[in-house]
Structures are given as C-alpha cells and as structure tokens.
A = this chain, B = another copy of it.
Amino acid sequence: MPYTYNRLNKDDAALLMVDHQAGLLSLVRDFSPDDFKNNVLALADIGKFFDLPTILTTSFEDGPNGPMVPELKEAFPHAPYIARPGQINAWDNEAFRNAVAETGRRQLVIAGVVTEVCVAFPALSALEAGYEVFVVTDASGTFNQTTRDAAWNRMSQAGVQLMTWFGAGCELHRDWRNDVEGFGGLLAQHLPAYANLIQSYSQHQA
C-alpha cells in the first residue's frame, strides 16, 4: 500500500503538555533530571517558536502530584490550562477535548509524565478520534526503561509516530532560511554540543 508522509506542519499542529508536575517528575527515571528538564523546556520553546496552539493540563495539582512546573506556565501564559479534577486520561475531560477541537488542528504533538499513562492514554484516544498523533518521546518520562519500552510499543503499534523534540522542531521548521537566527538560537540553548560548535565558529570568524 502506498505510504503518505504527512509531515508535522506548523499550521496544522497543536501541542499538548500533559502532567509535567513537580511531584510526578520525581517519578521519572528513564532520563537524568538534567536531560529531562532540558528536553521538556526545549519542546516548550519549539511550541512557542512555531506559535503552536498549546494546551496545558494537570492531574490533581493540589495534592501530592504537585504544581505544573513553573517554566511551562510562564512559557504559555495564555494557553488553555485544564486542571483535571480526576480523569486520568486527559481526553476524558470534556474541557480538554474541547480545547483541542478549538485549535482546529489535526496533528497533535503530545508529551507528558508518565509515558504509559498520561501520554499513552490521550494519544490512543486522539488516534481513535481521527487525529494524527506524534509523541515526543524524550519530553515524556516514566519509571524505568522497561515501562518505557512497553509504552512506546503499544503506542507505535496503534499508529502513533514516535518523535523527539529535535526531530519535531526540524520537521516543523522545514528550511533554515525561514529564520536562521531564531532556530539556531533555540538549538544553541538546548543542545550544548551545538552551542559549542557555534562558539568555535564565531571565534574563528572573528
């Protein structure tokens, strides 16, 4: 059967950040804390850079799960923010579904904590609802490598596309010439090794 490559498109994509809460983050152990923090903030910067409609949601944020990480709230001060009263699958929350629908977008970029629940459940629900679903794997964390592997497998077999923040950013950007400075700056901030290249280059130029 012929394959169609529906790329992530900045005019058709929305970003869903699910349950990146201070308490829940302490459960994430398939990334080092530094790596994971960087990945989540890089994805947030991508959402802002491409002006993707973005939706934030939390689960029980007044309890042990803790508040959404403040950097995300600050990054998207005007985004719909749905503090779910109890639904584990964000898609079960009508306000969340409506917020997604109101974006008018058909490509959903999802990341969250923990991967096999807060990410996988809405990802599969969105797939069923006819959306294209792209999970940003390195901005989604869970208890260990085994639970991650199982979660990735389940989502992938259902039709979810597994991405990374760097891959998603590049697929959205398409061409460096659309904004060399801006996109390069974003990368430099979140890829120390790339920042090093830029510094060496700049010095050699000078």
Interface residues of A (CB under 8 A from B): 2-5, 7, 22-23, 25-27, 29-38, 59-60, 62-67, 69-70, 85-89, 92, 114, 116-117, 120-121, 124-125, 127-128, 130, 137-138, 143-144, 146-147, 149-154, 156-159, 161-164, 166-167, 170-171, 173-178, 180, 191-201, 203-205
Residues of chain B within 8 A of A152, CB atoms compared: 149-150, 153
The dominant DSSP class at the A interface is: helix
A167–B126 Cα gap in the complex (Å)? 17
A135–B127 Cα gap in the complex (Å)? 21
A27 to chain B, nearest CB (A): 5
Question: Given A3-B158, A128-B3, A177-B85, does the pair A36, B192 have CB atoms closer than 8 Å?
Answer: yes
A34–B40 Cα gap in the complex (Å)? 13
- Cβ A33 vs Cβ B156 within 8 A: no
- Cβ B164 vs Cβ A150 within 8 A: yes
Question: Given A66-B200, A153-B152, A154-B162, does the pair A192, B25 have CB atoms closer than 8 Å?
Answer: yes
